Amino acid sequence: MTKSLDLGCGLNPQNPFKANELYGLDAIREANIGGDIVEIIKADLTISPIPYPSDFFDYLTAFDFIEHIPRLIYIDSVARLPFIELMNEIYRVLKDGGIFYSLTPAYPSPKAFQDPTHVNIITEDTFNMYFCGTHPWSHAYGFNGQFEMMSQQWQDQSHLSCHMKKLSIHTKLQIL
């Protein structure tokens, strides 16, 4: 039995890995749809954690979602880094070896900027430099995990497709 979570799914969670159980998360609505879809939970991932236990999902997807998560916000005069916090949450809820797939409008495409709700501009280097490799730069900002970049490519000259695998603690120690 495999489980997949689609972030920012609206009423149509996507299941590209054909997981047995499909879950959705959206800031606007929640629903029980039935069929292969267990539920869509309402949650604002800018300020809240992913409402599932650790090591729960085999797959996690984010279609046209990451660009809506701010890099920096202030709540009660306290600075928070929602994008880093979200990446920690993605890492937390994925099982060891779990796959994170994102499809995001990215720089230099105008689509990265044209929507006024796009507040997190992604580049070809964002995921690879900050969340993958032996010493991801984001550790200085509080990222606790480590992903392996499986593939990254441009789709339709505007969206960056990215497949990353969660490295286990054991694998991370071998690399170091």
Q: Are 67 and 121 in contact (CB under 8 A)?
A: yes
pTM value is: 0.92
**Dihedral over Cα of 132, 136, 141, 145: its sign:** positive
Omega before residue 108 within 30° of 0, cis: yes
| CATH number of the domain bearing residue 127 | 3.40.50.150
pLDDT digit string, tens, across residues 56-108: 999 999 999 999 999 999 999 999 999 999 999 999 999 999 999 999 999 99
Among 160, 176, 43, smallest CA distance to 109 is for 160
Question: Encoding tokens for residue 38?
Answer: 């267990």
Task: Classify 165 as helix, strand or coil.
Answer: strand
- Residue 127's alpha-carbon distances to 52, 124, 145, 160, in angstroms, are 23, 7, 12, 11
Give percent of the chain above pLDDT 70: 90
Gap between the Cα atoms of 163 and 147, Å rounded:
10
176 pLDDT above the threshold of 50: no
Q: Are 65 and 8 in contact (CB under 8 A)?
A: yes
Q: How many CB atoms lie within 10 A of CB 81?
A: 18
Domain interval for residue 105: 3-175
pLDDT score of 72 = 95
Among 87, 171, 168, 85, smallest CA distance to 128 is for 87
State the average pLDDT over residues 148-163.
97
Instruction: Name the domain count of the chain.
Output: 1
Q: Are 41 and 29 in contact (CB under 8 A)?
A: no
